[in-house]
Structure 1
Amino acid sequence: MISAQQASAIVLALHEGVISDGRPERFVIQSCELSADGRYWVVRCNTEDCVVHGKTEYCYVGVNAHLVDVGTGAHEVVASCFSVDEYLQDKADLQAAAGKLYVLVPSFTRDDKAALINLRQKLACSYPDSFALLAETGRQWLTGKRRYLADCQRVLATEGIATAIELQADPQGATPIGPETWHIDAVLKAIRKSRQPEEPGR
């Protein structure tokens, strides 16, 4: 097992040779702790001027943390736009998907009249469009990172729209989403984009 000291040394070695204002920049470790799952050392470092002397103008930005695998010593960088938990969750979800894609689908059918009417009202669309969204070819609404879809699922649940997250090999018609779908208007807009004409005979 890689120790905290070894993990810190791996990260510091990555910063050797950095030049700032014509002089070598010295980096120091801010913190080194195990991730919640115990698989990685979460190492944060920055310049000595920033960490030790509090000179924030010498702070290097763009990196949230470095991850060092406790078993292999392999290194990964978590960008500042992600939390470590989000990064590790995305990594685990991607591995679990095994090449498939996460898709948000309705967990009700057109036979549920109350749910159908609610869907039509919330989307402000016609009955044919609502039917299309519940048909086999139209029920693949949204696709993206699982945690983004889980956020959409929670938002839709507050509006009485029940959904499920599935893994599918080829989610045709599903609208790709990102972190912008954190509120109901954005989610409903994305679902409207996924509408497809219903297949004849359905």
Structure 2
Amino acid sequence: MTAIARTDRSAGRPPSERSRTGRSFFQRQLDRSLERRALINARAVAPFVVGPMVLDVGAAEGWVGQALADDDIGLMVSLLDVVDLNLATLPLTLYDGLTFPFGDNSFDTVLVMLTLHHCDDPVRVLAEASRVARRRVIVTESVYRTSAGRWLLWTMDNGLNGLRSGWQMPGGLHFAPVAHWLDRFRDLDLAVIETRWLSRGLHRHVAFVLEPPYS
């Protein structure tokens, strides 16, 4: 594993390969749009976050975790991803996309937000999230109902995320309907305590609030 520290914003952001400096006008505008969306998503799931120790899996720029930490100074948020896209001030750990480099029950809440469809083995990643979570796993996913909806998700996701990451981010491989994810949660003995739609328009986006076994 590789741990990458970030300093507090008041001390100034350390040099980074993906700092805002040097990014094109289009990339800066895209960053701002994604940061606004991350703030909305963070506030949508914040009521379901329990405990002070939070892990954000597939954190990308880290803006969801940053928004949660900024809104609640009692939270200690860590980021986990396969590439360093971090523009937040939170600590990032890089991993191999399969095994989380943390012990069992290391975090109170684990966030897996718009991440599973990018994973080579989403069930393995979900199982790892369950393993390191003491009390809660929160999953959000882009879902579809028709083959046309799946094509639209694939096109939008791969294009947008390619541009935002300089084509470093893995493509969207495993989009699925709601029923598919409910079956996977059941397979892993993850109890669904709430399902909430975050959007139902062009982007059908749903949140699943889960409790791991023995929580």
Whether these two folds match at TM > 0.5 is no
Higher alpha-carbon Rg:
1
| TM-score, L = length of structure 1 | 0.19
| TM-score, L = length of structure 2 | 0.18
Q: Which is bigger in relative contact order (C-alpha 8 A, separation at least 6)?
A: 2
